[in-house]
Amino acid sequence: MTTRQDLANAIRVLAMDAVQQANSGHPGAPMGMADIAEVLFNDFMSHNPNNPQWANRDRFVMSNGHGSMLPYAVLHLTGYELPIEELKNFRQLHSKTPGHPEYGYTPGIETTTGPLGQGISNAVGMALAEKVLAAQFNQDQHAIVDHYTYVFLGDGCLMEGISHEACSLAGTLKLGKLICFYDDNGISIDGDVIGWFADDTPKRFEAYGWQVIRDIDGHDADSLRVAIADARMEHDQPTLICCKTIIGKGAPNKQGGHDVHGAPLGKDEIAAAREHLGWKAEPFVIPSEIYAGWNAKEKGAAAEQAWTAKFQAYQAAYPTEAAEFERRINGQLPANWQESAQKAIDAIIAKAESPATRVASKNALDAFAPLLPEFLGGSADLTPSNNTFNKSSKYINSNHGPSQDFSGNYLSYGVREFGMSAIMNGIALHGGFIPYGATFLMFSEYARNALRMAALMKIRNIFVYTHDSIGLGEDGPTHQGVEQTATLRMIPRMSVWRPCDGVETAIAWKAAIEKTEGPSCLILTRQNLPFQARSAEQVAHIAKGGYVLKDCEGQPDAIIIATGSELALAMGAAEQLAAKKIRVVSMPCVDVFLAQEAAYRESVLPAAVTARVAVEAGVTAGWYQFVGLQGKVVGLDTFGESAPAPVLFKHFGFTVENVKAAVESVL
């Protein structure tokens, strides 16, 4: 008779065999958490291996992503399209089993994890998305959004500061359908964690407002079943189940020590483990009775079928809401989006206003947000400065009253830039929303790894960064972005928009909304910028990332390239150089411009014109790809100073006269 222990041991042997074959990996966590995974997936998880994208599935996140062989083993055993050959190819090129779980590679993997602490933070976003989506769509007797988010995490996730940011907010928001399993095995790479991690973790989470279930034997199925059932009964608090486990359990000579954490066990220890576990099958061979005990295809299909029946009843009672739910879950924009968005942009053009681009951003949100109920916005305690609360915004949480209305669409994240960004990633991954969140450009530094993860996962996420340069002024160099815009541009798949006025800002928002294969950053000013008049053709070309804003007859003598607040300086210099043929190119988004066809790029920046100057109030290095070594960059390769913005721009040479002189020097 197949026992629960046999089912859990299947995870252990697959983990140790795959790591051994790859000669690389982490067998300790999968072997130590195998019993928890067996109880969770066989007794509680609602998921369908036949349809990994089923909208109402429970989400599972392996936050301690180095233990990737645990989810790979479970997905294989339960019947996902992950054949044993893929487990044999663990950590090999183009396999579906990369070293850490990667979203988009493996069916059933909900998010890319590995940088510790971000998986739990993504999961907070998923649980938040579930709660908001339920509040927006569920009706009496019709709960079409009703699922849990489960997380495995270890000491490393809890040591990373982002876990504090995200878990603190999760407690405040009362995300009762978030259930986390703390793998309390006392071991990390350097050895026994007591020497550097002596926190009272249960008290910490109780202080956040979580339900904490302490001292669960992570190898006892009955205790685990009771703990999970208790966690699911608590609707007003997320739950942390503290599981005492033995890392590498089953490897008799190495279990419980740090040697089992991140290295193959070795052939001798694997042989000893097989004998210790009573596992007689050869490597990568799973007995049929074990597969039968794990297989979730029929149960998953039945669960989805039951939900489909619920949804059909909902559809009959609320056809408009049902259609909207399907549109949003499928990530589709409204049918009237293009027409309505263009009308909004035309209205902005007609007004010809000259606000700061952070204000222009709010104007764009005022126009676009009514069209996009899937917007879920927020700010890291800078809403009045970031201008992200628009006419259609409704707080989920605020100091305006004790109640939390989760039918809203705007979140105060508090001073949690990294946590906010990783939570936004989780919201995007859950589906049904287009998240955007804001802070000052300088504080993108705190969030950098979450931005990279959004790009790595190719998810639509919009990061709004205001106060973009020395134009911030008196707050000084600690708050003045100098290198941030340039380094954000270096992230693959990240579109970085630095618009020069309200028109470019609105089109940048539209482009970010429409981009489905990666995130976008909007880099916005504190100070007012002048409106730039354009032809209809020029307006159409803004979306190409770079275009000719001011031209001349015939081939130019020189080209000035600029972005954001410095575009006005380029235009002023061109006017003062009236005796010369000067072209001004606005380049609000470098990566989008570089993605255009060669013929278009040549039409904007003809190779024959080598006299070129780029102007941006930031570091210069990235601009030499456009101006060449013979060109000049009017930039800032130092930190700022504390003074009013106009004083700083003059002090650092951001004047029409200096741009003019730079052009003259290259002619």
pLDDT in tens, 163-177: 999 999 999 999 999
Long-range pairs of 303-311 with CB within 8 A, sequence gap ≥ 24: 303/46, 303/47, 303/48, 304/48, 304/50, 304/51, 304/54, 304/56, 304/57, 307/54, 307/56, 307/144, 310/142, 310/143, 310/144, 311/144
CB within 8 Å of 454: residues ≥ 6 apart: 421, 424, 425, 428, 461, 463, 494, 518, 519
DSSP 125: H
Q: Per the annotation, does 155 bind a ligand?
A: yes
Determine the angle formed by the axes of helices 444-457 and 417-430, rounding to 10 degrees: 20
Which pair of structure tokens corresponds to residue 11? 């995870």
Q: Residue 414: its pLDDT value, please?
A: 96
- The pLDDT tens digits for 33-73 are 999 999 999 999 999 999 999 999 999 999 999 999 999 99
Closest-CA residue to 574 (of 604, 550, 610, 590): 550
Rounded CA-CA distance 512/219 in Å is 47
Q: How far apart are CA 454 and CA 605, in angstroms?
A: 31
Single residue among 301, 324, 353 that ends a domain in this structure: 301
CATH number at residue 600: 3.40.50.920
Confidence check: pLDDT of 399 > 70:
no
Q: Residue 360 belongs to a domain with what CATH number?
A: 3.40.50.970
Instruction: Based on the fold, state whether residues 513 and 577 are members of the same structural domain.
Output: no
Residue 17 has pLDDT above 70, yes or no: yes
* Domain shared by 267 and 182, yes or no: yes
pLDDT for 478 beyond 80:
yes
Could you tell me if 352 and 292 lie in one domain? no
**Residue pLDDT, tens place only, 103-137:** 999 999 999 999 999 999 999 999 999 999 999 99
What is the C-alpha to C-alpha distance for residues 38 and 595, in angstroms, rounded to an integer?
Answer: 47
Per-residue model confidence as pLDDT tens digits over 572-595: 999 999 999 999 999 999 999 999
* 398 pLDDT above the threshold of 80: no
Q: What's the pLDDT score for residue 117?
A: 98
Give the containing element (helix H, strand E) for 180.
strand 178-184
519 and 565 part of one domain:
no
Residue with tokens 């609602």, as numbered in its chain: 46
Residues 372, 388: Cα–Cα separation, whole Å: 15
> Residue 41 annotated as binding?
no
Average pLDDT over residues 345-368: 98
Q: Are 50 and 301 in contact (CB under 8 A)?
A: yes
164 and 261 belong to one structural domain: yes
76 is in an annotated binding site: no
In a domain, 142, yes or no: yes
404 confidence band (pLDDT: 50, 70, 90): confident
pLDDT in tens, 277-333: 999 999 999 999 999 999 999 999 999 999 999 999 999 999 999 999 999 999 999
Length of the chain: 667
* Segment 80-96 mean pLDDT: 98
220 and 362 assigned to the same domain: no
Average pLDDT, the chain: 97
Tokens read off for 394: 């409704």
Residue 80 lies in a domain: yes
Task: Indicate the Cα dihedral angle 401, 403, 404, 410, nearest 10°.
Answer: -20
Question: In Å, how far are 142, 460, 476, 519, 623 from 453, measured between CA atoms?
Answer: 35, 12, 30, 10, 25
Q: Which of 165, 417, 566, 616 is catalytic?
A: 417
Q: How many domains does the chain have?
A: 3
Cα 346 from Cα 552, distance rounded (Å): 26
261 has binding-site annotation: yes
Element containing residue 437 per DSSP (H, E): strand 434-440
* Judgement on whether residues 278 and 416 belong to the same structural domain of the protein: no
Q: How far apart are CA 261 and CA 248, in angstroms?
A: 7
pLDDT at 636: 97
Does residue 531 lie within any of the structural domains?
no
The pLDDT score that the predictor gives to residue 397 is 81
Given a cut of 60, whether residue 400 has pLDDT beyond it is no
For residues 502 and 543, what is the distance between their CA atoms, to the nearest angstrom? 14
Residue 588 lies in a domain: yes
CA 451 to chain centre: 6
Question: Is 479 flagged in the annotation as binding?
Answer: yes
Domain residues for the domain of 482 are 336-523
In a shared domain, residues 572 and 504: no
In angstroms, rounded to a whole number, what is the distance separating the alpha carbons of residues 391 and 363?
9
pLDDT of 427: 98
User: Residue 628: what pLDDT?
Assistant: 96
340 and 470, same domain (yes or no): yes
- Domain co-membership, 515 together with 554: no
Residue 327 lies in a domain: no
CA distance 483 to 477: 11
- Read off the pTM: 0.98
Is 526 annotated in a binding site? The answer is yes
pLDDT band per the 50, 70, 90 thresholds, residue 489: very high
The answer to whether residue 296 is domain-embedded is: yes
User: Is 467 annotated for ligand binding?
Assistant: yes
Residue 115 resides in a domain: yes
Q: Please compute the mean of the pLDDT values over residues 465-479 and round it to a whole number.
A: 97
Residues 12 and 145 in one domain: yes
Instruction: Judge whether 417 counts as a catalytic residue.
Output: yes
Phi and psi of 602, rounded to 5°? -65, -35
What sections of 521-655 are H helices per DSSP?
A: 536-542, 567-576, 590-594, 598-604, 624-627, 645-651
pLDDT band per the 50, 70, 90 thresholds, residue 403: low
What pLDDT is attached to residue 402?
55
- Helix 417-430 to helix 161-172 angle (10° resolution) is 70
Is 318 among the domain residues?
A: no
Single residue among 285, 301, 317 that ends a domain in this structure: 301
* Domain shared by 127 and 264, yes or no: yes
Whether 469 has a pLDDT exceeding 60, the answer reads: yes
Percent of the chain with pLDDT over 70: 99
